[in-house]
């Protein structure tokens, strides 16, 4: 049962990470110099999505192995 809860939490983290990854800065249209916050959001979104994927895979694969 705990595997399902952890997988749901991992899916939520992945969705949040992808949401941050794809979110654009609302200040101005795209120019040559993008807003630095855009890069911070991209890095944070990638890290959150990767963390959710890693946690979900580790718990699920460990459960399937045992």
Q: Where are the domains of the chain?
A: 2-23+35-65
pLDDT of residue 6: 97
pLDDT of residue 23: 83
pTM: 0.82
Q: What is the pLDDT of residues 5-23, one digit of tens each?
A: 999 999 999 999 999 998 8
- Rounded distance, CA 31 to CA 43, Å? 20
**Three-class DSSP category at 29:** coil
Q: What does residue 25 show for φ and ψ, rounded to 5 degrees?
A: -75, 135
Burial 30-62 (b: 16+ CB within 10 A, else e): eeeeeeeeeeebeeebeebbeebeebbeebeee
Q: What is the pLDDT of residues 37-54, one digit of tens each?
A: 888 899 999 999 999 999
């Amino acid at each position: 049962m705990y595997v399902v809860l952890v997988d749901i939490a991992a899916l939520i983290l992945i969705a949040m990470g992808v949401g941050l990854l794809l979110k654009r800065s609302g200040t101005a249209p795209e120019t040559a110099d993008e807003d630095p916050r855009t890069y911070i959001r991209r890095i944070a979104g990638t890290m959150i999505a990767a963390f959710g994927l890693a946690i979900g895979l580790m718990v699920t694969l460990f459960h399937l192995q045992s």
